[in-house]
Structure 1
Amino acid sequence: MTINLNEEKNMFLKTLLVVLFSFLGVFLFSNMSVNASSDKTVKIAHSSWIGFYPLDLAEEKGFFKDYGVNVQIKDIESKSDSKSALAAGKIQGVATSLDTNVLSAASGLKIQNVLALDTSKGADGLVGKNNIKSFKNLKGKTVALDTTGGASYFWFNYMLQKNNMKLKDMKVESMDSGAAGSAFVSGKVDAAMTWQPWLSKAGATKNGHIVMSSKSSPGIIVDTLGLSTSFIKKHPQEVKGIIKGWYKALAYMKSNPKAAYAIMSKKAGIAPKKLKNEMTTQIKLYDKKENKKYFGTAKNKGNIYKISKIASNLWYTSKISNAKANVNELTNPTFVNAIK
């Protein structure tokens, strides 16, 4: 059988076109997959703490999206609830106190601290009735305290050790820090460990005052952003985008304070002027420079390792945790050091 040259040429062209369209289809499909991945919502939880509101500002202003990541901030007050949500993959990250993430890591949760958010310098504290003049006066008193973990519980245990006291020396009613402040204001307890804005509300009552605040132990209460280890491995670019979004929010707070605090005050439920006063006098927000210093390098480790170790030892010796956290595995300085 003979084949015409024109027919042979046509067959060749048809075959070539089939191959080209096949490659084009693979290319388009892979591109769609990449886009779908980058469009996936990253969920980050936090409680009602003033140091976390720049995350809400970044979401509202689209700063995360400016760096290619779609972030949704979720409100979860309970430490145990946010831990469960992270373990179940319902959220990818949690903004909370460093000691909380240490406790979670000690219990086996695969999490890494990738960003320092703030440190408390008066925004956490112990409020008590007027007859409670010092921490030692809590003996025999009813104290509202979040015993599930978190900054208040960590700091309370830190003060217990400093004063050679034990939790059984007082009657503890377990509730989250916001509810603890509310319980004190309503006269249901003798004292409470709480934070802003409840600290000011509780301290302003006729029969109560602020016994002591985090001003007395600077650098102990630090908040970080902890992300799922598996998420970090799969989405390193998104991790960078989240950190850059945080930095952009802090810069916006400086360049456009009126607009920034107006947005954040809606989340906080207090007036912009009051929120600004609390955020500028009672906490210190960690920007790019502060993060590089706090994390340090592999050769010259920063203060985050020291505080993490203190927390790990405290949780273990107080029998809140059955194991110590691996501080080196928990701490990931890669991203804050990679961002110039």
Structure 2
Amino acid sequence: MRKLVVIMLSIVFMLALTGCGTGPGGGTGEQAGQTLTVGLMPDVDSIPFIIAQEKGFFKEEGVNVTLKSFKSAVDRDSALQSGNLDGAISDVLAEAFAKDGGFDTVITSATTGNYKLVAGKGEAVTALQDLKGKDVAISKNTIIEYVTDTIGTKGGLAADDMNKVIVPQIPARLEMLQNGKIAAATLPDPLATLAVKSGARLVSSSEQLGINPGVMLFTNKATEAKAKEIAAMYRAYNKAIEYLAKEPRDSYIDLVIEKAGFPAVVKDSLELPQYKKAAAPVPADVEAVIAWLQQKQLIQKGYSYEELVNDRFVR
């Protein structure tokens, strides 16, 4: 009997040790098994996530990440607010709208994208002033409209000097531009690059203006319940940034085009930004967006940087 008791106690002890062990990337076995579901947009901000997935960096860090692609900000935000996403590539505007609507999300890092205002190849547009009174396709109350207005303001045009045509889906916006149905459009890369390759003219860009309102959002629920997974995701993301910095473009460009769903014709002309490791957004970028939203009376209060940003995962 005593021998049986000793054996049973030994088994219990071993099980307890197993339960306390840590999984890959520092998470416990149970926590490492939780999946992060992240929303992507058809732009270059998504590329580090695709690289991290396809090169096994997420797996190395012990985190399961499911990537879901969206063609419009509206669809992405609906998925986030309905609980189908833990986080998403997004922008400061979306975070402010979420806060204003009582939906609990938080900015966890900046992203590295570029948004370009391009004029159609059939348009006699050589400068921003030439777009006065002409149709410009945007998505309303998004980073696209913010960049368009900022380009206009810095170039001497009022917000209503350009006739904004609302086209939420990014591929549809590009198609309208290429078919001459609109004079210009604001697009993210790589579709902006594709437009220029097809004969459109670059008018201005967020990069030229030195603004970067793109961010990564997570729900507050995810930051609490899946904190270790988010931290592991960012470690894998940073590995992807290192990979993109040192690897020849030819070694990953076909993979990126396939997985991101980019048109194959952008292969030779795709311009990648100088990606940076995950970091908090610059306060001035956040504050400028909030000022724009308040000026347009799109939010009820002026949110502070601290109310919108939680940088604990990227310190």
Report whether the alignment pairs 1:313 with 2:261: no
Report whether the alignment pairs 1:199 with 2:192: yes
CA offset at residue 229 of structure 1? 1.5
Larger helix fraction of residues: 1
SS at match of 1:250: helix
CA offset at residue 264 of structure 1? 1.1
Report whether the alignment pairs 1:212 with 2:209: no
CA RMSD of aligned residues (A): 3.0
Report whether the alignment pairs 1:269 with 2:263: yes
Distance of aligned partners of 1:284 and 1:102 in 2 relative to their CA distance in 1, 3 Å threshold: farther
2:173 corresponds to which of 180, 184, 189: 180
2:125 corresponds to which of 124, 127, 132: 132
Residue in structure 2 matched with residue 147 of structure 1 by the alignment: 140
CA offset at residue 172 of structure 1? 2.0
For the residues of structure 1 that align with 2:29 and 2:179, how far apart are their CA atoms?
A: 52
How does the TM-score come out when normalised to structure 1? 0.78
For the residues of structure 2 that align with 1:325 and 1:203, how far apart are their CA atoms?
A: 37
Identity within the alignment, % = 19
Residue in structure 1 matched with residue 308 of structure 2 by the alignment: 330
Report whether the alignment pairs 1:159 with 2:151: yes
2:74 corresponds to which of 44, 57, 80: 80
* Contact 1:97/1:221, CA 8 A, preserved across alignment: no
CA offset at residue 51 of structure 1? 2.7
Residue in structure 2 matched with residue 298 of structure 1 by the alignment: none
Which has more radius of gyration? Answer: 1
Distance of aligned partners of 1:27 and 1:327 in 2 relative to their CA distance in 1, 3 Å threshold: same
Report whether the alignment pairs 1:92 with 2:51: no
CA offset at residue 97 of structure 1? 3.2
For the residues of structure 1 that align with 2:293 and 2:56, how far apart are their CA atoms?
A: 38
SS at match of 2:234: helix
Paired residues, number: 306
SS at match of 2:89: strand
For the residues of structure 2 that align with 1:272 and 1:172, how far apart are their CA atoms?
A: 25
Distance of aligned partners of 1:68 and 1:332 in 2 relative to their CA distance in 1, 3 Å threshold: same
CA offset at residue 138 of structure 1? 3.0
Residue in structure 2 matched with residue 54 of structure 1 by the alignment: 48
Distance of aligned partners of 1:261 and 1:18 in 2 relative to their CA distance in 1, 3 Å threshold: same
SS at match of 2:149: helix
SS at match of 1:140: coil
1:236 corresponds to which of 227, 239, 242: 227
Residue in structure 1 matched with residue 237 of structure 2 by the alignment: 246
For the residues of structure 1 that align with 2:207 and 2:14, how far apart are their CA atoms?
A: 62
Distance of aligned partners of 1:170 and 1:60 in 2 relative to their CA distance in 1, 3 Å threshold: same
What per-residue deviation string (whole Å, max 9, x for no partner) do you get for residues 194-239 of structure 1?
Answer: 1223223333456x42222334302x13432211112112222212
SS at match of 2:245: helix
* Contact 1:103/1:325, CA 8 A, preserved across alignment: no
How does the TM-score come out when normalised to structure 2? 0.83
For the residues of structure 1 that align with 2:170 and 2:267, how far apart are their CA atoms?
A: 23
4+ residue runs over 4 A deviation: 12-34
For the residues of structure 2 that align with 1:188 and 1:132, how far apart are their CA atoms?
A: 15
For the residues of structure 2 that align with 1:21 and 1:199, how far apart are their CA atoms?
A: 62
For the residues of structure 2 that align with 1:141 and 1:222, how far apart are their CA atoms?
A: 26
For the residues of structure 2 that align with 1:77 and 1:205, how far apart are their CA atoms?
A: 21
